[in-house]
């Protein structure tokens, strides 16, 4: 199995004991953390904002993997650059056309972050192909975005496979990240096809033993 990155999503962690939850991530040797931003418009729910992250990031030493589920992503780029985000991923569906997608990618790079592009399960994976040479990450949603605890959509594996073929063809250096319904079975399926990053939330944080669950993704 290839080397992989696990990016634990704190969307479903215990916020009243956030310091302890972050310590769990650190203790298993994980270097990434995934943070979901939901505005109540692009998706029904509302989550964290840039001010929260700006304070949080001052006290953590992870690769900060921020996923914007918002309308008008361009208006959020500078705000999240200020927080210290490392990767900033936005949704193809949040843009009116390909020119806007291009512009947001350029703005993310201009603000010294790595650019990620995400697509919902119902959006053809081919929509990201024109941008692969500029992207640092493609986030393939394996559930409908906006809520944790959903079941993995099996057709996601075909989408990952097609994306990998295009990445090889274009010699893109973009990482493939998969988000939604990740566990010890679906995670291995994604990795065996060629995904690079697993975003896991409920599977990790609902466990009595975080380390056992984390280790199971590697076995």
Contacts of 63 by beta carbon, 8 Å cutoff, 6+ apart: 7, 31, 32, 33, 86, 87
The closest of 62, 117, 52, 119 to 86, measured between CA atoms, is 62
In three-state secondary structure terms, 42 is coil
97 is catalytic: no
Q: Of 36, 39, 136, 196, which residue is the catalytic one?
A: 36
Which tens digits make up the pLDDT trace of 52-80?
888 888 888 999 999 999 999 999 999 99
Looking at the predicted structure, is the pLDDT value of residue 147 above 70?
Answer: no
Q: Which helix (H) or strand (E) holds 34?
A: strand 32-38
Q: List domains and CATH numbers for the chain.
A: 5-216 (3.20.20.70)
**Confidence grade of residue 156 (pLDDT, cut at 50, 70, 90):** very high
Residue 119 in contact with residue 91, Cβ under 8 Å? yes
179 is catalytic: yes
Which tens digits make up the pLDDT trace of 95-141?
999 999 999 999 999 999 999 999 999 999 999 999 999 999 999 99
Residue 101 in contact with residue 95, Cβ under 8 Å? yes
Average pLDDT value over all residues in the chain: 93
Residue 156 in contact with residue 150, Cβ under 8 Å? no
Cα(63)–Cα(27) distance, rounded to whole angstroms?
A: 15
Question: Taking the mean position of all CA atoms in its chain, how far away is CA 57?
Answer: 17
Q: Does the pTM exceed 0.85?
A: yes
Q: Return the pLDDT at 41.
A: 87
Residue 181 in contact with residue 152, Cβ under 8 Å? yes
Q: Of 97, 179, 189, 208, which residue is the catalytic one?
A: 179
């Amino acid at each position: 199995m290839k080397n992989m990155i696990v990016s634990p999503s704190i969307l479903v962690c215990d916020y009243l004991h956030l310091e302890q939850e972050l310590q769990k991530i650190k203790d298993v040797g994980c270097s990434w953390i995934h943070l979901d931003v939901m505005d109540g418009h692009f998706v029904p729910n509302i989550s964290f904002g840039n001010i929260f992250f700006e304070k949080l990031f001052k006290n953590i030493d992870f690769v900060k993997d921020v996923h914007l589920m918002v309308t008008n992503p361009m208006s959020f780029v500078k705000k999240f650059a200020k927080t210290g985000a490392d990767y900033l991923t936005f949704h193809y569906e949040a843009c009116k056309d390909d020119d806007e997608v291009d512009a947001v990618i350029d703005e993310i790079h201009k603000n010294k972050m790595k650019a990620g592009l995400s697509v919902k399960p119902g959006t053809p994976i081919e929509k990201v192909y024109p941008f692969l040479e500029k992207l640092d990450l493609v986030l393939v949603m394996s559930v409908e975005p906006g809520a944790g605890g959903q079941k993995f959509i099996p057709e996601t594996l075909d989408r990952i496979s097609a994306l990998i073929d295009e990445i090889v063809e274009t010699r893109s250096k973009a990482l493939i990240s998969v988000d939604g319904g990740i566990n010890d079975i679906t995670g291995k399926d994604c990795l065996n096809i060629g995904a690079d990053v697993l975003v896991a939330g409920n599977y990790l944080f609902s466990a009595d033993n975080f380390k056992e669950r984390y280790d199971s993704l590697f076995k």
